[in-house]
Structure 1
Amino acid sequence: MKPNAQFKLSVMMFFQFFAWGAWFATLGQCLGANGLADFGGGAYGSAPIGAIFAPLFLGLIADRFFPSQQVMGVLFLLGGVLLLLVPGVAESGNGEAMVWIMTANMLCYMPTLGLGNSIAFANLDRLTFPKVRVWGTIGWIAAGLLVGFLGWSSSFDIFYLAGASSVILGLFSFTLPNTPPPAKGEPVNMRALLMFDALAILKRPAFLVFLACSCLICIPLAYYYGLTSNYLSNAGFEQAASTMTLGQMSEIFFMLLIPFFFRKLGVKWMILVGMLSWVARYLLFAYGASEQVIWMLLLSVALHGICYDFFFVTGFMYTDKVAPENIRTQAQSLLVFFTQGIGMYFGYQVAFGRFGKEVTGYGNLNEAISSARTIEELGVLEQLGRMFAVSMPEGLDATMLTNVMSQWKEFWTYPAFFAGAIAVVFFLTFWDKVSVAEEEGGE
């Protein structure tokens, strides 16, 4: 391992996910508070579009012509400039232009996820990687806490924070360990770029079931990523961005427990528990809404560790296990294409479409809460204490609150049943005796 490589790569991971987490978690709340909720599906849909095209960019350009750290630097500088343009465009009310700018930014950002991993694996011992990758989750948490502390959960200023951190990382990337393009001089293989070779793995019935269920369940999953901040703000949480970091904190905890659960449960039950956790999360949101049961809402957010690690991380490990060695990269790209790409894209369209039709009182309640809430001068410790607190202003129209919370209950019930139906199909049709734990234990 090269001197200072671990430190530099940890900094890279921190800012990489800080730049994303600064705006992603509360974008829905921000758009809703500024009259742009109708553009939520397109804005969040920019991430899946980036995920769909990232493998092509990596295969055609990043892996062949330039050192990875230089490509990383250029992409973050371009993305940072684009993020800095968003507030001015959005505040002018031009939602369509905002979506186009965000899409351009995510086309720059999404390839850096693969690039960052490539740089890390090329310069670190394999067992050191998790110690570096965890700084990405810490960066996401730090961004959420800072956005909440600054009171920017409903402000387009989140893009100034994201843009500035992106530019900083862009400049810092040029100091990262030199990582030559891994496929330099090799001919372009369009079959590999388009993942055609990986389609052969679909002949394995269990993997076909896994891929189909993974794609479909990402539709209800998009509800959480896109609209939780809106819901929490209606429920009286003052700093939704900070509240949502509970999910990333639990993610770190459960990530450490994955080897243990693999040995105890196996692939099928790990993935099934992940799916059922999404069902539980949405039911907690639904039935915690009408009566304002705060512990249910916080528990739902805290379930993110199981929801994400048991489903996504297990899925990547299962894919790596069953795919032939020569097409493992393609197989992982295929999984990302169908989950983070196709599934999430349609999920955001469905979620925001139903939000606009069903939670019709969101804007009025949000405005009433903001107007009734008094601005207080708080010390640092007091401000930190408010990050996970609920404060519903006195004098708020109780009938309005009850009606809107009833709308939220109906809204969250749909993804709960959708995810539940897919979990049942997966339970009945997925049969694979492969053991990821055996390989992990033998290394």
Structure 2
Amino acid sequence: MGKSIKFRLTIMSFLQFFVWGAWLTTIFTYGTKGKHWSYQEVGAIFSTLALSSILMPSLTGIIADKWIRAERLYGLLHLAYGGILFFVPFVDNPDQLFYVIFAAMICYMPTISLANSISYRVLTSNEFNVLKTFPPIRVWGTVGFIVAMWVTNLTGSNITANQFVFAGIGAILLGIYSFTLPACTPENLHSEKKGLINLLGLDAFKLFANYKMALFFLFSMLLGAALQLSNMYGESYLFSFPKGSVIGDYSGVILSISQISETLFILTIPFFLKRFGIKQVMMMAMMAWVIRYGFFALGDTSAGWILIILSNIVYGMAFDFFNISGSMFIETNTDHSIRSSAQGLFMMMTNGFGAYFGTIASSWVIDKHFILPDGQTNWSGAWSVFATYSLVVAVLFAVLFKHKHNPTELSEISH
């Protein structure tokens, strides 16, 4: 029975990120190369991920807690997400595609947290050790993302709408499959008197009154502006390499090294947090982003292919170290009564506001300053700007954010 439960949740985790990875890293290639739209036009479409991340996960969380079983809501959202994606091949206007993808993201983004919630509930009700059992299940989500990238790349679908069809089919299958999962009955919240502000997680905004916390959230937003640049432009950049080269022909496969690296670096986090502390690990992440984009900027040099591989390897540190150490900072520096809300605020600042501003600003910068007369993109210049921005954020963070390492700081949550 135990193996069956874990296997069923593993399938859910795999499909959860397969239906996103099929198009997330290739939508810019599809828009700019397949449809010949501008970076600003595709950037606006991509920004719907951030817009839908601001409140939708909280709203659907309330619904799952009060009115409908979580696995059923999860299934309905995926059915809607898959159905909407089937409209993409019939859309030839970027303004129209903005609304199609926005509708799809409104359905998809809440399912990320719902998938975690379902896994936690099912594992807990079956008396599993969640801290020990969940990570091996979740890592299959990254595997699903990688497989989707490979499918899209190896079928030549990175410049066609087939990538959205693959995602749509997977989402429909996942939606149907969700109804076979163990029941996650809504918890009874009626006994607790909570206002709308509390339910939406907005009570955590009072943390902005604390200078240290306000500074942390500010830098979370600033770095959040850089977090999605790889997903937005990485595949388009590698796709621009000459056809007949390994990088140009297998851009999606090469980029998937980033996700493989992510699965490996996450295993090193306990050591680095214990040895260096939260601030230093966040600094490592910020400098890793500088290296990531700096190596991409040098990708057209004689040693470019080596630097591109190294850039993809360092991505794991850049992504995992900031997100997880930032989450640990919230967990150890906020009152237990608002920790969940504070975690939601952290995600809102990084994946919501930060990602939105980063998407809009970076696509404007590329369109205005790095499109060459022949229509090609000056990727070296663009990545140099992104690396410089990340470096400025890292230096300011090192100077302004004061947090001393306390070896016992993480003891409460390590058990």
TM-score (norm 2): 0.91
Write out per-residue CA displacement over residues 326-369 of structure 1, whole angstroms, 9 at most, x where no aligned residue. Answer: 1111001111111100000011111111222233249855xxxx
Residue 181 of structure 1 corresponds to 186
Q: Please state if 1:109 is matched with 2:111.
A: no
- 1:177 shift after superposition: 1.2
Q: Which residue among 77, 80, 83 is the counterpart of 1:81?
A: 83
Change (3 A) 1:203 1:2: farther
Write out per-residue CA displacement over residues 165-188 of structure 1, whole angstroms, 9 at most, x where no aligned residue. Answer: 000000000011111123553555
Contact in 1 for aligned 2:201/2:340 (Cα 8 Å) = no
Residue 272 of structure 2 corresponds to 261
Secondary structure of 1:360's counterpart equals: coil
Superposed, 1:1-400 pairs within 5 Å as 4-33=4-33, 34-37=35-38, 38-89=40-91, 93-124=92-123, 125-126=129-130, 127-185=132-190, 189-236=195-242, 237-289=248-300, 291=302, 293-361=304-372, 364-365=375-376
- 1:59 shift after superposition: 4.2
Amino acid at match of 1:154: I
Residue 423 of structure 1 corresponds to 394
- 1:156 shift after superposition: 1.4
Secondary structure of 1:24's counterpart equals: coil
Secondary structure of 2:216's counterpart equals: helix
Q: CA RMSD in A?
A: 1.9
- 1:3 shift after superposition: 6.4
Q: Residues of 2 paired with 1:317 and 1:54: CA distance?
A: 23
Contact in 1 for aligned 2:258/2:313 (Cα 8 Å) = yes
- 1:206 shift after superposition: 2.7
Contact in 2 for aligned 1:290/1:409 (Cα 8 Å) = no
Q: Residues of 1 paired with 2:156 and 2:231: CA distance?
A: 20
Q: Residues of 2 paired with 1:183 and 1:322: CA distance?
A: 29
- 1:17 shift after superposition: 0.3
Write out per-residue CA displacement over residues 10-45 of structure 1, whole angstroms, 9 at most, x where no aligned residue. Answer: 110100000000000111111111212342112111
Q: Residues of 1 paired with 2:194 and 2:279: CA distance?
A: 37
Identity over the aligned pairs, expressed in percent? 31
Secondary structure of 2:161's counterpart equals: coil
Q: Residues of 2 paired with 1:223 and 1:141: CA distance?
A: 18
Count of aligned residue pairs for this structure pair: 399
Q: Residues of 2 paired with 1:335 and 1:42: CA distance?
A: 23
Point out where structure 2 has 5 or more consecutive residues left out of the alignment: 124-128, 243-247
Point out where structure 1 has 5 or more consecutive residues left out of the alignment: 366-403
Q: Residues of 2 paired with 1:431 and 1:184: CA distance?
A: 39
Contact in 1 for aligned 2:61/2:114 (Cα 8 Å) = no
Q: Residues of 1 paired with 2:235 and 2:370: CA distance?
A: 14
- 1:275 shift after superposition: 0.4
Secondary structure of 1:414's counterpart equals: helix
Larger mean Cα displacement after TM superposition, 311-320 or 356-365? 356-365
Secondary structure of 1:63's counterpart equals: helix
Q: Please state if 1:438 is matched with 2:411.
A: yes
